[in-house]
A = this chain, B = another copy of it.
Amino acid sequence: MSVTIYDVARRAGVGIGTVSRAINDSSQITEQTKNRVLSAIRELNYQPHTVAQSLARQRTNTIGCIIPFFTGYFYMELLRGVQRETTVHKNDLILYSVDRMDKRDTYLERTLQERRVDGILLVSLEIPDECVAKFKSHGFPIVLLDGFHPELDSIKVDNVQSAYVATSHLLNLGYENVAMIAGRLSSLPARLRFEGYKQAIEDSGRTFDERIFVATAGPDDNDGFSKENGYAAMNKLLDLEGMRPRSVFASSDIQAIGAMQAIRERGLSVPGDVAIVGFDGIELASHVGLTTMRQPMVEMGQIAADRLIHKINESDNIDFKRKVSTELVVRESCGANRI
């Protein structure tokens, strides 16, 4: 019903092979016949059937992105970067969004076998070793964005270092002790941020005090970087008799925002009563004056997509691990201008 390569061939008085060559500007064709084909194409308003091309080429020019993107600004920004780069490379983007963890595995399995995409970008999600093995053995390109695995390419920030800087900032501002609101320690980034915090504390000559450290508990399977968790954690901190911290480092902006709410609800102020710095650099942070360690989200998305597509094209097996650097964005919440 719609115009195919045969129609074009007939119209141009050539074989379909020639049409194909014209489309894919092969060198195996004279400028002249190519032009003839091209005008036939234009006259017929022909456009190749992508699906047929994909089948014949064994390549879809599409990447899949598995992302828990229903959880906010951070993912949206990453996605924006991914999308941008994908478009630059004339690839399409299929979105697989994960809400529950078990879906992650489903998608990983599916994408691998369905061959609907040429490679996949796994965002902020851990990947089971057995899965890694499978992908490797199939030679199926996969890159981790905001994640890490020894055997896979990855792009992420240096969590330890960043948490270190955030904590040190507070310390340098003169706060005696810096509390921490951590995520769920079963999550790697949560652990790393904790590590950076602890290191900064110790490097400053203090000793880590677990009484002013509160991590997300409970059996849930996500990272615990939520507003509710920040709120609850801050309340615990505020309940501390006689040793209520004057400053706290929250491992995510959204936790920090929950914490700020808890603080205000007690009639206390930020940074007057407690100073706070967050982590991520989400848009909201700028609106509530939250000092934070900003991750270059869009850029990370771009780098990841670029790397993935490069890998698909060249099928190189270089070990690509990229740590991008965060940037301390100073706003009011840390009380910088008070000191």
Among B70, B76, B110, B116, which residue has its beta carbon within 8 angstroms of that of A51? Answer: B116
**Contact of B95 with A50 in the complex, beta carbons under 8 Å:** no
| In the complex, A101 has a CB within 8 A of chain B | no
Binary contact track A71-101/B, C-beta < 8 Å → 1, others 0: 0010010001001000100001111110000
Give chain B nearest CB distance to A204 CB in angstroms. Answer: 33
Residue A52 CB within 8 A of the other chain: yes
A60: Cβ under 8 A from any B Cβ: yes
Of the candidates B80, B114, B115, B138, the one whose C-beta lies within 8 Å of that of A70 is: B80
Specify the chain B residue showing the minimal Cβ separation from A77. B70
Q: Determine which residue in A2, A51, A96, A284 has the highest number of CB atoms from chain B within 10 A of its CB, and name it.
A: A51
A73 contact set on B, CB distance < 8 A: 73, 76
State whether the Cβ of A283 lies closer than 8 Å to any Cβ in chain B.
yes
Asked if B116 contacts A95 (CB within 8 A), the reply is: no
**Of B55, B95, B114, B284, the contact of A283 (CB 8 Å cutoff):** B284
**CB of A287 within 8 Å of the partner chain:** yes
A39 at the interface (CB under 8 A from B): no
Distance (whole angstroms) from the CB of A264 to the closest CB of chain B: 12
Q: Given that A70-B80, A257-B287, A283-B284 are known contacts, is A113 also in contact with B47, CB under 8 Å in the complex?
A: yes
Q: Given B2, B70, B83, B114, which contacts A95 in the complex, CB threshold below 8 Å?
A: B83
Query: A50 contacts B287, CB within 8 Å?
Result: no
Chain B residues whose CB sits within 8 angstroms of the CB of A114 once the complex forms: 47-50
Copies in the complex: 2
Kindly supply a per-residue 1/0 record for chain A positions 30-66, scoring 1 wherever the CB is within 8 Å of any chain B CB and 0 otherwise.
0000000000000001011111101100001010000
A268-302 to B contact mask, C-beta < 8 Å, 1/0 = 00000000000000011001100000000000000
User: Does B287 contact A115, Cβ atoms closer than 8 Å?
Assistant: no
Residue in contact with A55 in the complex, picked from B55, B76, B284, CB distance below 8 Å: B55
Size category, A interface: 35 or more
A69 to B81, CA, bound (A): 12
Find A97's partner among B55, B83, B96, B288 (CB 8 Å cutoff).
Answer: B83
**CA of A180 to CA of B49 in the docked complex: distance in angstroms?**
49
- Docked CA distance A2–B58 (Å): 12
Return A75 CB to nearest CB of chain B, in Å: 9
Residues from chain B with a CB closer than 8 A to the CB of A96 are 92
Minimum Cβ distance to chain B for residue A309 (Å): 16
A245 CA / B80 CA spacing, docked (Å): 38
- Provide the residues of chain B in CB contact with A93, threshold 8 Å: 94-95
Q: How far is the CB of A215 from chain B (nearest CB, A)?
A: 25
CB distance from A124 to the nearest CB of B (A): 16
Identify the 8 closest CB pairs spanning chains A and B, nearest first. Answer: A47-B113, A50-B114, A50-B116, A51-B54, A76-B76, A51-B55, A93-B95, A83-B97
Contact sample, A vs B, 18 pairs, CB 8 Å cutoff: A47-B110, A47-B113, A47-B114, A49-B55, A50-B116, A51-B51, A51-B54, A51-B60, A51-B115, A62-B94, A70-B80, A70-B83, A76-B76, A93-B94, A94-B94, A95-B95, A284-B284, A288-B288
